Amino acid sequence: ILQAAPFEKGGIFVFLLVLRTLVVYVLIVAAMRLMGKKQLGELQPSELVSTILISNLASLSIESPDVPLVTSMLTVFLIVACEILVSALCVRFRRAQRLVSGRPRIVVREGVIDQKRLKELRFTPDDLLEALRAKDIFELSDVALAVVETNGSVSVQRTFAADSAANGSLGLKPPQAKLPSLPVFIAGAWADDSLAALGLTREWVLAYLRQAHTALGDVLVLLCNDAGETQLVTKKPKPKGGA
Residues 187-199 have pLDDT tens digits of 788 888 888 888 8
Angstrom distances, CA of residue 216 to CA of 182, 184, 213: 17, 12, 10
Q: Is the pLDDT of residue 1 over 60?
A: no
Helix (H, G, I), strand (E, B), or coil: what is residue 65?
coil
Residues 123-180 have pLDDT tens digits of 888 889 998 999 889 888 889 889 988 777 888 988 876 666 555 555 666 667 777 7
Helix (H, G, I), strand (E, B), or coil: what is residue 232?
strand
φ/ψ of 219, rounded to 5, equals -90, 125
Residues 147 and 155: beta-carbon distance below 8 Å: yes
Percent of the chain residues past pLDDT 70, beyond the cut = 71
Give the pLDDT score at 167: 54
Residues 174 and 158: beta-carbon distance below 8 Å: no
Residues 177 and 130: beta-carbon distance below 8 Å: no
Residue 41 pLDDT grade (very low, low, confident, very high; cuts 50, 70, 90): very low
Say which residue, 52 or 28, is predicted with more confidence. Answer: 52
DSSP annotation string for 133-183: HHTT---GGGEEEEEE-TTS-EEEEE-HHHH-HHHHHTTPPPPS-SS--EE
Q: Out of 97-106, 149-158, 182-191, 232-241, which region has the weakest mean confidence (pLDDT)?
A: 232-241
- The order of strands in the sheet holding 230-234 is 189-190, 182-186, 219-224, 230-234
Residues 162-171 have pLDDT tens digits of 666 555 555 6
Q: Is the pTM of this model over 0.85?
A: no
Beta bridge partners of 232: 222
Give the pLDDT score at 37: 46
Give the pLDDT score at 31: 64
Rounded CA gap, 3 and 53, in Å?
A: 42
